A and B are shown apart, each in its own frame.
Chain A
């Protein structure tokens, strides 16, 4: 056994413990390690080999994108051209099938009939796109549910739709039907209008917080655009400080201000009308104009409870203890 901090000697060289694959030590079950790959046989003519057949504009558009910059050695075209992503594919390149038959697929297929396993597709992208906003990708909701990068991203176009606010939501709505439905409600963030994108709040590549949010907490996300609600306030409203989602439904609502329910009913989920003068909240039928006096129906109309308790996000007035000033 090795002592803490001690490396295992191989060929006389003591290895750093972090570099040792402990799961290959005797006694461990079969590991999920990738077997050693054979030396790849790259096409000698790079992308020229591929565009002999794949010469449509949509195929070659990738040559004019960030992935196609040959002067940047980090990019696919700066390395092994198309095969940097699609894998060395001599069987595909050299095949001469009889007329009417298809060639064998390339090593990594991102869409269609011969699509490669999600792990394999993901590994291709992760070769370069790791760290930064991808730090939390392993184990994230999308990764755990077998979502591959190319399920959302399109590379063979001048502008990836998921990277544009105007079109991003349509990509997300492909799976997130509830959010699409909510976006059509009267009260919504301007996502359909292309002014706010899903990625303004969410980091789809993984998050250190809940719901793939860009910030670690719900409120920090909201404060990015709604810093006026951040406070601190002299008088606070506790659920507001804890989670904006206590009252708001960010993807769309049938109620104004993206509220989950309308006032006074939303407020009554926590506050009861035990105070004198508040009985008009529920005196059936009396709440509407012409049915009673304003002291009764003003609790149901306008902004409901917020007509008087208008500082629900907090008040900086000494006399605003009940969030009324």
Chain B
């Protein structure tokens, strides 16, 4: 800033009126798309090719003068698209108005589409009806029955699978009501569509893909009030959330001609039950000293569900004492955190957290046989079934101390101790101790780095892999016993983690950053289960100014995750244990540049290329007495790959100070190689009819969009 020689005591050189600030905008775009498929724009809902139009606006008005009051309003709209989908299907609209410091109200609407699959193979409609005139029990299910397969092919349909959310919410807030800021927010969402699922008919060999119906309404009311002074802050809130499933179950009649089941009327799949939640929260902040803060967060909630039981396969007469579930979960959460900087160069943090889930739901005893038809109990289960009221209590304490060694170097040590206790679980208790430290330092002029290391030891007690089976009435012994199973999320674990960051402000117009992270897990108690897990990521990030008017950003990220596990396969006389090694690798590189070519012309170029690869390495790990055969010799599955490249070019020219015209081009290419693509064949000619799989087919696509835009600002 050079001294312009202005008169400090004179009038301002500029006034808002002479150089208006442009805060309003409206624009339209027209364009076309080719190569669209379900996976492209899966959140815009429109895979169709052809012309389309789009519009947006942002307008705001605010009284800013000393005597003008404080009224304001803002209105915004985005994705107001026609052509590819229905008008107002997926737009964002919001309106906000108020008197700043007095009241504030807002209303907004948002549509969100999600297309899960565009070529899903099924014999059913979402209402359970058989498609294309297929009649019940008309498909022969004899294994490898060519006639059955042909009949499946004849009636198989290809349908779209996806959902659309429509959200409407409103919020109103008052300021400074006796020092408090009360507010209320009401949200309503309707979600409609279908999602991929499957359904049993008689047993595990007779099932088929279905489009599960989705018709949900979710309402949420939040009443809240805030209080804030420099020393004391408080937030009290009550949240009521109600979820309503407008369709409690998916009901259909089997198209397969399996053995006659006495009393069979229909097959039914239970859908998510309607439920409610009440929750009160209290949050407090207290700063007894300028350098000390105590935050307290408390929550108490009730989760309720009392829907009629559904999906009672084969049951004509209820066997339970109730016809509806009396579900009640009580949740309690508490967290207290003390943060203090009592002495120059020192800072401390201590926290305690309590998280409790108490399952007070009804527990039922279901004596065998629990089918009403008198046939053998489902899947051979002849014991008494109980639904166990699973509960847990988590507690955690954290301590952290930081000391600034020099003006530019700070060291931090931390310690954490956590206990997880569970009822009716395969592992009833985990304890974990975490110790670590990190160093943040200015390594050189403009170079800032951090390096952190932590080690965590998790202990587990009472492994009982058969607990779940026991509740289902099964008594597992011998080779079927899973008492020694170590579940990944509960097993004893030793974890080492290293994290680092580096930023270098290399000079005018150039900054370089890099992040890295490495996690290594070992599971000392595990023989069957995950024995090792490793994850790593690293990537540089560069922002630079190659020439006047141009800024560029370049990044690269490499991520990998490796899991090694041993899987028991103790079938009598054919005992082969397997080793599975799964490696996910993702590499992403991107480039973005803004170029102000002239005062009127601006260009943007953005490209992101991501490569993902999943390797499945299977090997026989230990062999029992069984003879080697093709069925028990491991062969690795083929790697799955996905490559996506998305290139966007934008050019805009200012015709006047208030009007701009431009062009947007998007080219996106996705290549997917996945053995799941083989399903396309499995659901047609190769299928016997006993297992009709969904088949999403290959996801490969190449889509192009070009759009001309015009916008005005004022």
Contact = CB atoms under 8 A, between A and B. Distances in A.
A269 B8 CA distance: 72
Given A66-B100, A131-B228, A227-B241, A208 B12 contact: no
Contact of A285 (B226, B537, B557, B635): B635
Contacts of B412: 144
A274 B16 contact: no
B289 A139 contact: no
A268 interface: yes
B100 A69 contact: yes
A240 B291 CA distance: 40
A63 B21 contact: yes
B96 to A, nearest CB: 11
Contacts of B517: 178
Interface in B200-223: 200, 204-205, 207, 209, 216, 218, 220
B275 interface: yes
Given A69-B72, A295-B204, 15 more contacts: A30-B343, A55-B19, A57-B19, A70-B68, A71-B68, A144-B400, A178-B539, A180-B555, A232-B361, A268-B580, A274-B480, A279-B632, A284-B633, A317-B309, A325-B313
30 contacts: A32-B343, A32-B346, A64-B23, A64-B62, A66-B62, A70-B64, A72-B101, A103-B3, A133-B235, A138-B293, A144-B400, A158-B22, A175-B515, A186-B672, A208-B283, A209-B353, A227-B241, A242-B489, A283-B630, A289-B679, A292-B631, A294-B688, A300-B675, A302-B198, A302-B676, A303-B694, A316-B307, A318-B364, A318-B366, A319-B311
B458 to A, nearest CB: 14
B109 interface: no
Interface in A242-279: 242-243, 246, 254-255, 260-262, 265, 268-277, 279
B450 to A, nearest CB: 8
B319 A318 contact: yes
* Interface of chain A: mostly helix, strand, loop or mixed: loop
Nearest to A295: B205
Interface string A115-129: 000000000000000
B138 interface: no
Contacts of A73: 101
B691 A254 contact: no
A265 B529 contact: no
B291 A216 contact: no
A324 interface: yes
Interface string A124-156: 000000111111101100001110000000000
A199 to B, nearest CB: 14
A31 interface: yes
A320 B426 CA distance: 19
A268 B203 CA distance: 22
A325 B200 contact: yes
A185 B235 contact: no
B341 A272 contact: no
Interface string A288-299: 111011110110
Contacts of B13: 51-52, 55
Contacts, number: 494
A73 to B, nearest CB: 8
Interface in A212-250: 216-217, 223-224, 227-236, 238-239, 241-243, 246
Contacts of A324: 200
A250 B593 CA distance: 28
A190 B295 contact: no
Q: How large is the interface on A (under 10, 10 to 19, 20 to 34, 35 or more residues)?
A: 35 or more
Nearest to B285: A135
Interface residues of B, number: 209
A136 B294 CA distance: 9
Interface string B276-317: 010001011100111101010101000111010111111100
B424 to A, nearest CB: 8
Nearest to B508: A113
Interface string B353-376: 101010101001010001100000
A159 B96 CA distance: 14
A185 to B, nearest CB: 6
Interface in B400-435: 400, 402, 412, 422, 425-426
A254 B204 CA distance: 29
A95 interface: yes
Nearest to A227: B243
Contact of B295 (A139, A232, A275): A139
A42 interface: no
Contacts of B450: 145
Contacts of B230: 130
B485 A272 contact: yes
B299 A316 contact: no
Contact of B299 (A135, A216, A283, A313): A216
B118 interface: no
Contact of A71 (B43, B63, B144, B197): B63
B8 A318 contact: no
A99 B3 CA distance: 6
Contact of B489 (A209, A239, A289, A315): A239
Contact of A177 (B100, B234, B515): B515
A124 to B, nearest CB: 14
A293 B690 CA distance: 10
B324 to A, nearest CB: 10
B565 A233 contact: no
Nearest to A136: B295
B551 interface: no
A138 B285 CA distance: 10
Contacts of B11: 48
A321 to B, nearest CB: 5
A107 interface: no
A65 interface: yes
B64 A131 contact: no
Interface in A72-122: 72-75, 77-78, 93-97, 99-103
B233 A132 contact: yes
A279 B567 CA distance: 10
Given A70-B65, A317-B270, A159 B58 contact: yes
A185 B672 CA distance: 12
A178 B557 contact: yes
A62 B529 CA distance: 58
Contact of A180 (B110, B588, B691): B588
Contacts of A307: 198, 207, 693
B325 A321 contact: no
Nearest to B488: A269
Contacts of B489: 239, 242-243, 246, 269-270
B594 to A, nearest CB: 12
A78 B329 CA distance: 50
A208 B580 CA distance: 39
Interface stretch (B129-137, B254-262, B568-576): B568-576
Contacts of A61: 21, 23
A319 B41 CA distance: 39
B375 to A, nearest CB: 13
Nearest to B196: A303
B682 A289 contact: yes
B171 interface: no
Interface string B562-601: 0101011111001000101010101010000000000000
Contacts of B364: 234, 318
A184 B291 contact: no
Given A102-B1, A132-B228, A290-B681, A274 B570 contact: yes
Contact of B569 (A96, A100, A175, A273): A273
Nearest to B339: A139
Contacts of B63: 69, 71
Contacts of B275: 227, 230-232
Contacts of B295: 135-136, 138-139, 206, 208
A15 interface: no
A66 B312 CA distance: 58
B297 A136 contact: yes
Contacts of A274: 476, 479-482, 568-570
